[in-house]
């Protein structure tokens, strides 16, 4: 037993091959699950720490990502060959078609229009400048290859940092970061565009928020929004938790940081070239539905059937309305749930809804969901099912685009019918993941992250907070509602020290009756540090659950 005025130190980590029924049979060929009598943490693993193993796995996955693109690296990027070889990359295409190899730099060269946000344009420009410094007099094909390779090397570093940030956020489940380190969707789609930079900034922002640094979190999300829009959506999850807990300051601080850093990147270019800066917004609003979105499939099938199609303006309005309704539903769900949802759960629901409602979907958008799935619903059955469908969709996209651009024989292409089924499967698979999260919010005892009284490892200032605003059966309840209200979930007294945040986690977890101690080698990082003082008064003792 321990009082709420102190912490018990870190929880013992969960070993996936013990706790997840899917992984046991899958690892039989590589040694099988961790043995019953194994005692990690008592005997130091020497060099092979959790972090180092994850880094090795990430590097191996990054090598595979380049191997996937090797047909184009050897024979060049040209349409429709890069579709049939499934090695298309925006990096090489933009370098060749937008004049990057000729010294035309987005947001730097006056009058250049670029259909991406500012920071992504600066990344594209910066790597182009680096190519010129390294191989200024080389042939265009050689420079294009070097441009791809430099971006691939940078992506490997970004990928590693994203994995380590996920590990720290996962708290007593560090091995859940393997989902990010080995994700097939990152291997296949990570080298298409610069999306993984936005994924890192979004994940690092969550880590900063988990460590009670909302201004830094907002700053990182603001920078992420200057690469891709989606990181700023995480503020929606913070807002809902702020309303339920009555703690508005973290949301205001994060919002201030996001606006300030987004403006710091964007305002200079807005003042310098308003038309070039605004092109991303006008292009997104006026463009037709993008491949693989539900809107595209509807328009394509309607056009084939001779029915009315939707205009770009109608699609834009419809996508915004559907997303607004989805966000309202998520807010009601979060405010009515018996137990306050975790930040990662709400973030996944919001970003997933944005992907499903948006008028544009590209294969690399799946990268946005990978760390959020690892943190919100770390069940390998769910992870593998979703990734399998996304891989099939990835194949279907290139075969369909190859047919549209080549006009070749039908037997070498994928028609609209099969492609539409692939898009529908992708939509249903993403909706399935979101439905699992909704089910665990409604029945928190099924949430494997919240075992032994854990509240919200990513929640930062909301972790262990008292509920102040809850919707109950058409009424609004205000005041102190206990946070451990889930059915069959061990209720930790309100106000107990936030022992399970990304800074610290209590000792004593036994996964399925088998002790799983914290590895002594995991390092002094905040994910497993001990804290010396509580953050709030206790209302009673907490069991050790040993």
Q: Is the pLDDT of residue 511 over 60?
A: no
Max mean pLDDT range (104-108, 205-209, 510-514, 530-534): 205-209
Residue 351: pLDDT above 90?
yes
Instruction: Identify the residue with better confidence: 342 or 110.
Output: 342
Residue 31: per-residue pLDDT: 58
Binned at pLDDT 50, 70 and 90, residue 240 comes out as very high
Quick check: 339 and 485 in contact, CB under 8 A? Answer: yes
Please, what is the Cα angle at 213 between 445 and 207, to 5 degrees?
A: 50
What is the value of pTM for the model shown? 0.84
CA proximity to 54, closest of 126, 169, 162, 214: 162
Classify burial at 155, counting beta carbons within 10 Å of its beta carbon; exposed 0-12, middle 13-18, buried 19 or more: buried
- For 8-46, write each residue's pLDDT tens digit: 345 566 666 666 667 666 666 655 666 665 555 455 567
Q: Distances from the Cα of 373 to the Cαs of 33, 241, 254, 287, 347, in angstroms?
A: 23, 19, 23, 30, 10
pLDDT given at position 501: 44
Q: Are 166 and 106 in contact (CB under 8 A)?
A: no
The mean pLDDT value of the chain amounts to: 82
CA distance linking residue 37 with residue 515, whole number of Å: 9
Residue 179 has pLDDT above 80, yes or no: yes
pLDDT (mean) for 249-275: 95
The average pLDDT across 313-322 equals: 95
In degrees rounded to 5, what are phi and psi of residue 477? -105, 125
- Which residue, 381, 361, 384, 383, is CA-closest to 372? 383
For the segment 376-398, the average pLDDT, to the nearest whole number, is 95
144 close to 77: Cβ distance less than 8 angstroms: yes
Question: Where does 171-248 have alpha helices with state H?
Answer: 178-181, 184-189, 195-210, 214-225, 234-245
pLDDT at 95 over 70: yes
Q: Give the model confidence (pLDDT) of 407-422 as tens digits.
A: 666 666 888 999 999 9
With bands split at pLDDT 50, 70 and 90, how would you rate the model's confidence at 477? low
3-class secondary-structure state, position 481? strand
Q: Do residues 545 and 452 touch, judged by C-beta distance below 8 A?
A: yes
Let me know how long the chain is: 546
Higher pLDDT, 238 or 136: 238
Residue 505 confidence class, pLDDT cut points 50, 70, 90 = very low
Higher pLDDT, 503 or 58: 58
Region 230-258: mean pLDDT is 96
Q: What are phi and psi of 40, to 5 degrees?
A: -60, 140
Q: Strand 475-481 and strand 514-515: pairing?
A: unpaired
Question: Among 283, 359, 360, 362, which Cα is nearest to 317's?
Answer: 359
**Phi, psi dihedrals of residue 365, rounded to the nearest 5°:** -65, -25
Please give the angle made by the CA atoms of 442, 374 and 210, to the nearest 5 degrees: 80
Q: DSSP string of 329-340?
A: HHHHHHHHSSSP
Residue 246, burial from CB neighbour count under 10 angstroms (0-12, 13-18, 19+): middle
pLDDT band per the 50, 70, 90 thresholds, residue 508: very low
**Do 210 and 457 touch, CB atoms closer than 8 A?**
yes
Nearest to 257 by CA among 225, 284, 285, 280: 225
| Cross-strand partners of 246 | none
pLDDT tens sequence across 268-305 = 999 999 999 999 888 888 888 989 999 999 999 999 99
């Amino acid at each position: 037993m321990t009082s709420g005025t102190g912490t018990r130190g870190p929880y013992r980590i969960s070993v996936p091959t013990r706790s997840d029924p899917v992984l046991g049979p899958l690892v039989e060929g590589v040694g099988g699950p961790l043995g019953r009598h194994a005692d990690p943490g008592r005997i130091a693993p020497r060099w092979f720490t959790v972090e180092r193993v994850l880094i090795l796995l990430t590097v191996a996955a990054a090598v595979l990502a380049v191997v996937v693109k090797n047909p184009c690296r050897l024979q060049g990027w040209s349409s429709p060959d890069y579709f049939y070889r499934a090695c298309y990359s925006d990096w090489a295409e933009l370098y060749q078609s937008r004049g990057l190899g000729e010294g035309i730099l987005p947001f730097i060269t006056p009058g250049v229009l670029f259909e991406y946000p500012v920071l992504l344009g600066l990344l594209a420009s910066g790597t182009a400048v680096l190519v010129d410094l390294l191989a200024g007099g080389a042939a265009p094909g050689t420079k294009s290859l070097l441009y791809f390779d430099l971006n691939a090397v940078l992506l490997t570093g970004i990928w590693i940092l994203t994995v380590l940030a996920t590990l720290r956020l996962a708290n007593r489940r560090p091995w859940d970061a393997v989902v990010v380190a080995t994700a097939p969707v990152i291997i296949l789609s990570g080298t298409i565009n610069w999306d993984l930079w936005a994924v890192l900034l979004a994940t690092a922002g969550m880590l900063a928020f988990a460590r009670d640094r909302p201004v830094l979190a907002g700053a990182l999300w603001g920078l992420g929004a200057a690469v891709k829009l989606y990181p700023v959506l995480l503020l929606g999850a913070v807002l809902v938790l702020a309303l339920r807990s009555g703690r508005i300051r973290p949301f205001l601080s994060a919002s201030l940081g996001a606006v300030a850093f987004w403006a710091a990147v964007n305002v200079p270019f807005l003042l310098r070239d308003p038309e070039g800066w605004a092109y991303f917004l006008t292009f997104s609003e006026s463009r037709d539905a993008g491949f693989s979105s539900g809107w595209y499939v509807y328009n394509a099938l309607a056009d084939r059937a001779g029915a009315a199609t939707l205009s770009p303006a109608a699609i834009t309005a419809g996508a915004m309305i559907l997303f607004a309704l989805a966000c309202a539903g998520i807010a009601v769900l979060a405010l009515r749930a018996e137990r306050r949802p975790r930040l990662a759960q709400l973030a996944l629901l919001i970003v997933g809804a944005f992907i499903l409602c948006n008028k544009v979907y590209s294969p690399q958008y799946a990268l946005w969901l990978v760390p959020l799935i690892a943190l919100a619903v770390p069940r390998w059955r769910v992870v593998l099912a979703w990734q399998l469908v996304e891989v099939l969709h990835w194949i279907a996209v290139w075969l369909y685009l190859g047919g549209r651009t080549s006009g070749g024989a039908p037997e070498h292409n994928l028609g609209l019918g099969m492609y539409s089924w692939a898009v529908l499967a992708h939509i249903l698979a993403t909706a399935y993941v979101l439905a699992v999260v909704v089910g665990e919010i409604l029945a928190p005892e099924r949430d494997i992250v919240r075992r032994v009284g854990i509240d919200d490892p990513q929640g930062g200032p909301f972790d262990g907070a008292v509920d102040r605003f809850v919707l109950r059966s058409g009424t609004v309840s205000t005041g102190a509602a206990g946070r451990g209200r889930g059915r069959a979930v061990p209720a930790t007294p309100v106000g107990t020290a936030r022992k399970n945040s990304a800074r610290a986690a209590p000792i004593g977890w036994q996964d399925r009756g088998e002790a799983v101690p914290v590895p002594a080698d995991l390092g002094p990082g905040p994910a497993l540090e001990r804290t010396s003082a509580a953050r709030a008064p206790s209302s009673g003792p907490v069991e050790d659950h040993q």
